[in-house]
Chains A and B, each alone.
Chain A
Amino acid sequence: MKLVTLLAQVDTDKCKGCRTCERVCPVLAIKVVDRKAVVDPERCRGCANCEQRCPDYAVTMIKREKPLQVGVDVHEVNYDEVVALCAKAKLHPEQRICYCVGTRADEVAAAIIKGARTPEEVSLVTGARTGCTIECIQPILRLLEAAGCELKPPEGGWQWYGRTATAWDLPEAVKQKYSSRGFYFEEDRAVLDKLVEEGIKGGDA
């Protein structure tokens, strides 16, 4: 759940149509049309990436007159399916995956069960990854992949490039080579496994 209080606003006098804003928007809410950036206020989730990366300082974040509530109610889907999807992605359903918005794995799973097929669609309906826009991309990709979604980044965009390694698929040789240097790979995996098990046992939100 996120109460979206901010909205990107473009100063068309400053905008040079470089498309940086388009490439960094996690919900594809800003597009360059006729060499000027245009914001879709219904899609903007107020993350400020466009404002922070615009090389011409053409974007400001303004307070919305009427805040926008976004979120997916996990009770609108079969929660057993949510638990199963989270377990497949090696996540606890109650695990917080977006530290800025506070979105938990079960809400992202519910969004996917309800039809979200890309990270951008997940962010649009849940608000996840519209704070720092950095740290929660991997669990979102893991949940989408677990649901059988094809992971294809937005064409020409810099939103995200791909899923990466997890504690469960580190090569054995790497673990052996570096475990004496303070990397507790196996022990960490056991902690994460225990969390996943607790999630399966807990079940009911």
Chain B
Amino acid sequence: MRAPIKPIPPKPSQYGIDPSLVKTRIADLPGMTSVSLKELFPDLPEVIFPGENGLAKVRQAAEEALMKVDMSMIKPEHSVNVLASHHGFTLLGGEPYAELLKAIKDVIEKRTGCRDIRLRAGVGMRFRETEEYIKRYGLDTYYDGKAIGIAPVDQGIPIETEIGTLYGIKKVYDADWIVHAHHSDVREVHFHRQVDKAVKPFGMSYARIETRSTYHQNLGPRGANFVARAIFDSEFVQKKFAFAAFLNIAPNGVVGVDVDNDLYALNDRVTFTGCQYYGKIMTLFGEIDECIAALDFPCPVPYVFSAGVIYANFTGANTDLYDLDAPLPPYTWYTEAFYGKRGKPLLGDIPPVNPAIKMCVHNYAWTGYPSAFFAEQIPTVVVGQEQAELFNRDPLNLNYMDYATVIKSTEAAMNFAYRATGTRKVIIFDGAMGGINVSEPLAELLTRKAPAVSERVDNELLPKWLRQRGVDLSVLNN
């Protein structure tokens, strides 16, 4: 058995406990090992990061891609807003995304002579999160003091769309041109269902509360992401859109950089790789019969990563999240909304939260996302009173600890979980790069099941997923 991969370290943040309080990482406990993703699925792409040349390869890929895109619309006297989102900074330590943002500024300057280039970094629900990243990665200095975090409660701007007025954040659009700087990581498949994933920030991190609420409350679980397309297609946004620059991500690392003036062409490529690469991992996770899920990553509860899959998606791995014929995943906000007062679903066909998760050990994860549903549905142990207190003080999580219990140390929490559940299978959501940190029995199960999963996705599921989304294989020729 191979040694565990070094997890992403805890990070100082107002949304998490002080890193010094994270005394033990789950991966360091006895019986833990790792599985290489390339060994599980040999057809996963070769990656440039992590790799021996580190960020230099990301920089090189970004510059090469950015040199090929049309920037002729940007004149020296113009202003440009480079639009970023918080999630990119949680990928593979955050440095690759920060490097892309730096390269975008440099290449625009070099190719157009434009000097008024600003960074506008949107957030999820932690309104100061990107402020923290801007400082951590030196982006404020790099962007000559023109880098700011933006939030969905900031001043808005109405945008006329095909479905009526929606609302964007004013500071997103206060330049002559916008550049959409994002990535192809799938993250919230339960929300966007891999439909227009590349467009999503226009309806989310670049959008006001009214738009985001439209997504999560008004349109339904599979129509939701249309708000992003509606805004992007608006005359107002189209007049400002210059190009999109994406970090091309697979579960095992950064594959390259994809830059295009046509966001929908890029979107089709993102849809394909999102279904193919991540679909295999998620389908494999659905084969896990029983386990303890250990959260150990500097992110809110649902967003902690294992092999590029977030915990929220693992709670739905008992179903096929990519299958659009199934309306409601085991977890999404529409599903959560449809649980009644007696704790039962209000509709008969709502699937249960993944019953393979026998217990969740919350060793280290942040506040800033309403997470009570997870603790309500899955027995949850939180390590350390300080972490419990942090959740008790979070306006989004005042009820989380109503359902979770506190245990003083990581070791004691895991021992409790082993005894209470009777399983020794552990999956660790700690952002390990290139592989998955797991316990030995789970490593054996994943290795044994992967070949059949790969074949099933290639031959049966992937063609269906792409057909449902109107995407054909020719997108890869572009």
> Smallest CB-CB separation from A63: which chain B residue?
B393
Contact, CB under 8 Å: A5 / B398: yes
B208: which A residues are within 8 A, CB to CB?
Answer: 161
Contact, CB under 8 Å: B396 / A131: yes
User: Which residues, 149 to 205 on A, are CB-close (under 8 Å) to B?
Assistant: 158-167, 169-171, 173-174, 178, 180-185, 187-189, 191-192, 194-195, 198-199, 202, 205
Instruction: Return A97 CB to nearest CB of chain B, in Å.
Output: 7
**On chain B, which size bracket covers the interface?**
35 or more
Instruction: Return B122 CB to nearest CB of chain A, in Å.
Output: 12
Interface status of A96 (Cβ within 8 A of chain B): yes
Bound together, the chains give a CA A47 to CA B209 distance in angstroms of 15
Interface status of B475 (Cβ within 8 A of chain A): no
Give 9 closest A-B pairs by Cβ, nearest first: A188-B220, A182-B195, A184-B222, A52-B127, A138-B213, A182-B469, A94-B340, A165-B163, A99-B370
B210: which A residues are within 8 A, CB to CB?
Answer: 137-138, 160-164
Known: A52-B128, A53-B151, A166-B218. A61 touches B470 (CB 8 A): no
Bound together, the chains give a CA A149 to CA B337 distance in angstroms of 24
Contacting residue for A132 out of B125, B211, B372, B470, CB 8 A: B125
B166: which A residues are within 8 A, CB to CB?
Answer: 164-165
Contact, CB under 8 Å: B152 / A182: no
Contacting residue for A95 out of B225, B338, B397, CB 8 A: B338
Known: A95-B346, A133-B209, A134-B125. A185 touches B338 (CB 8 A): no
Contact, CB under 8 Å: A132 / B370: yes
Contact, CB under 8 Å: B470 / A180: yes
Interface status of B196 (Cβ within 8 A of chain A): yes
Stretch in B78-86, B153-161, B303-311 touching the partner? B153-161
Known: A136-B217, A161-B158, A174-B163. A188 touches B222 (CB 8 A): yes
Known: A132-B370, A161-B158. A184 touches B399 (CB 8 A): no
Contact, CB under 8 Å: A181 / B196: yes
User: Which residues, 63 to 115 on A, are CB-close (under 8 Å) to B?
Assistant: 63, 92, 94-97, 99-102, 104
Interface status of A139 (Cβ within 8 A of chain B): yes
Contact, CB under 8 Å: B396 / A132: yes
Best-buried of A6, A52, A142, A199 by chain B (most CB within 10 Å) = A52
Contacting residue for B393 out of A24, A61, A92, A163, CB 8 A: A61
Known: A137-B213, A195-B346. A161 touches B223 (CB 8 A): no
B396: which A residues are within 8 A, CB to CB?
Answer: 100, 131-132
A95: which B residues are within 8 A, CB to CB?
Answer: 337-338, 346
Besides the contacts A46-B395, A138-B210, what 19 more A-B pairs have beta carbons closer than 8 Å? A24-B153, A53-B127, A94-B340, A99-B333, A99-B336, A131-B398, A134-B152, A134-B212, A139-B217, A159-B153, A164-B210, A181-B196, A183-B195, A184-B220, A185-B219, A185-B223, A187-B327, A191-B327, A192-B220
Known: A96-B337, A132-B370, A162-B167. A167 touches B213 (CB 8 A): no
Contact, CB under 8 Å: B222 / A165: no
A92: which B residues are within 8 A, CB to CB?
Answer: 338, 346
A178: which B residues are within 8 A, CB to CB?
Answer: 226, 229
Q: 1/0 per residue B410-446: CB within 8 Å of A?
A: 0000000000000000000000000000000000000
Bound together, the chains give a CA A138 to CA B333 distance in angstroms of 14
A123: which B residues are within 8 A, CB to CB?
Answer: none
B220: which A residues are within 8 A, CB to CB?
Answer: 167, 184-185, 187-189, 191-192
Bound together, the chains give a CA A89 to CA B11 distance in angstroms of 43
B253: which A residues are within 8 A, CB to CB?
Answer: none
Contact, CB under 8 Å: A104 / B338: no
Interface status of B237 (Cβ within 8 A of chain A): no
Bound together, the chains give a CA A174 to CA B346 distance in angstroms of 30
Contact, CB under 8 Å: B221 / A191: yes
Contacting residue for A53 out of B153, B213, B216, CB 8 A: B153
Interface status of A48 (Cβ within 8 A of chain B): yes
Contacting residue for B213 out of A94, A102, A136, A181, CB 8 A: A136
Contact, CB under 8 Å: A188 / B219: yes
Contacting residue for B398 out of A2, A24, A138, CB 8 A: A2
A205: which B residues are within 8 A, CB to CB?
Answer: 341
Bound together, the chains give a CA A199 to CA B163 distance in angstroms of 27
A56: which B residues are within 8 A, CB to CB?
Answer: none
A159: which B residues are within 8 A, CB to CB?
Answer: 153
Best-buried of A3, A61, A131 by chain B (most CB within 10 Å) = A131
Interface status of B145 (Cβ within 8 A of chain A): no
A169: which B residues are within 8 A, CB to CB?
Answer: 164
A126: which B residues are within 8 A, CB to CB?
Answer: none
Instruction: Return B235 CB to nearest CB of chain A, in Å.
Output: 16
